[in-house]
Structure 1
Amino acid sequence: MLTKVFAPAKVNLTLHVTGQRKDGYHLLDSLVVFADVGDRVSVMETEEMRLDVTGPMASGVPTDQSNLVWRAAALFDRPVAITLSKYLPAAAGIGGGSSDAAATLLAMSDLTGQTRLPEGSVELGADVRVCLMRRASRMQGIGEVVEPVPNLPPLFAVLANPRVEVPTPAVFKALTAKENPPMALKLPKWQGTRILIDWVASQRNDLEAPAIAAAPIIADVIASLAALPGARLARMSGSGATCFALFDTREAADAAAATLAQAQPEWWVTPATFS
C-alpha cells in the first residue's frame, strides 16, 4: 500500500515576538496560512526503513535519521520506504521541514490505521502542531497554542527566496527587543481580500530586521516584490529568507511571478494562493 500526502508551505503573515522564557524559547503570536505549493511525501511498507529525497530542491537534504521525515515515520515503529519530493527551499522560513514531518505523520496514520498520533509527534518541531492543522491558524506561545482562524478570505501571493539559508537560532539571537506587543486579543472578521491585506500591513514580522542584518539580500527581495505591478504588501515570512507579496487577484500574482522570475532567474519564485 502506497500513501501520498501533500506538505504545503507555511507562511507567517504576521510574526510578533512577545517575550522569552527562562529556558530561552521565544514566545510568538503569529497568523499562519498555508500555500498551494509545497513538498510531497509518500510512504510504503517495506522490510527496512529508508528515505529517498527527490525533486528540484533535493540537494543537501539528509536521507538519514537526522531528517524530521525519518523521525516522524519512526514513531510508528513500522518500517517504511519514504520518498520525499522537495519543491521548497531549505531553511527558508516557510516551515518546509515541519510541514514534511506533519505530512509524514498523516501518511503513516493513514497507512497504519492508527488515528491517534504517537507520543512525541508534536515535539518533532515547534511548527509541527500548526502544520498538522493545514489551515489558517493563530499560533501562540512557543507553537503549542494553535487555534484555527475560520472564514479567512483568499490571499494571492508571490513567494520569493534568494536561495540563501538563514539559520533561525542566529536570527532570534540577533533580535534586540524580545518583548513586543501581540496581535489584538480578538482578530477581526475580515470582509474580503483587500480588507485582510490592509490589516496584515498594519501588523509586523519582528524577525525581519535581524534577518536582514544576517542576510542583507532579504531587503533586496522585499524591495523587488514591493515594486511588482499590483503588489499591495511585501514582507518576510518566518525567520527568512523567503518573502511574499500580496495581490488582489491570482491573475495579478501569476503575472507578477513571471516578471520577477525573468528578472531574477537565480531566485526561487512562485505564485501561490494562501488559505
Structure 2
Amino acid sequence: MAEKNDATIPTGNADFQWSAFDSEAYFQQYYGEPHPDDDRITRLAANALKHALPEGRDLEIVDVGTGPNLIPFLCALPRARRLTAWEFSRSNIDWLKAELQQDALRSQWLHFWEEVRGTYEADAALPDNPLPALRGKYDITQGSIFDLPRGAWDAATMFFCAESITARQDEFEAACAAFAGAVRRGGTLAAAFLVRSEVYVVADRPFPVLKLSPEAIENAFRGLATNVRADLIGIVDREIRSGYSGCLFLTGEAV
C-alpha cells in the first residue's frame, strides 16, 4: 500500500486512510467464524507451497499485504526458512506483532492450522501448536507493495491485497507486477483475489476494491508467470461478508 498524492482520483490507493484501518474489527468480521471458502483457500495455498521448487529445501517466503491474517504464515511455515510479512498499514503491523506475542493462538488460527496439517499429511511432522516455530522464523516489514525488492524471495503469497487497496486498474496491474517480480525466476506465486467486488466496509469505514472478473485477474499475470492455474471458489450472487461473494485462487511460477 503506497501513499501517493493525487487528489483528482478518489479511488486510488493514496486516497484511503490505511493507518486508521481497524485490524481487530477486520479479523472479527472476516475470520471470527471460519467459512468453508477460507478452508479451501488455506488448503490450496498450503498445497502450492508444499510443492514449491526446489522440493526438499527450506524457502525464503514473503506474504504481501498480510493485514490481520495469520493464514499465510501458517500455510508457509512447514517449508519456510524465513517468513516475511510485507505490510504497509501501521495498525496492521501492530496487530500482527501483538497477535504473535500472545501466550497461545486463537482458536480460529488453530482451526486453519489443522487444514494446513491435513494438506501436508505425512510429508511433514507438524506440531499441534505452530506458535513456537512461527516465533523463530518471522519478520514483519513495513513497506508498500509497489516498493517490493525484485527477486528477493523463493516464493510469495498474497491474500486479497492487489485488488483491495485500489479501484484503479493501473495500480492493480502495478501491484500484481511487483508481487510477481519479488520472486526469483521459477519461484512459486500463490494469491487469492476478490471477484466482482466493488467496496468493503470495516468498522463503518469504506475501503476500495477493483471490480474484477476471473479473466481480468488471469490476464494481469500474462507475462508475469508461467504454468498459471486458477481455481474459482464460492462464487455466488450475494455477499458472504462485506465485499466478498467469492474469489479466485491463482498459482504460477515467476518468470
TM range, smaller chain:
under 0.3
Q: Which has the larger radius of gyration?
A: 1
Query: TM-score w.r.t. structure 1 length?
Result: 0.22
Structure with the higher helix share, 1 or 2: 2
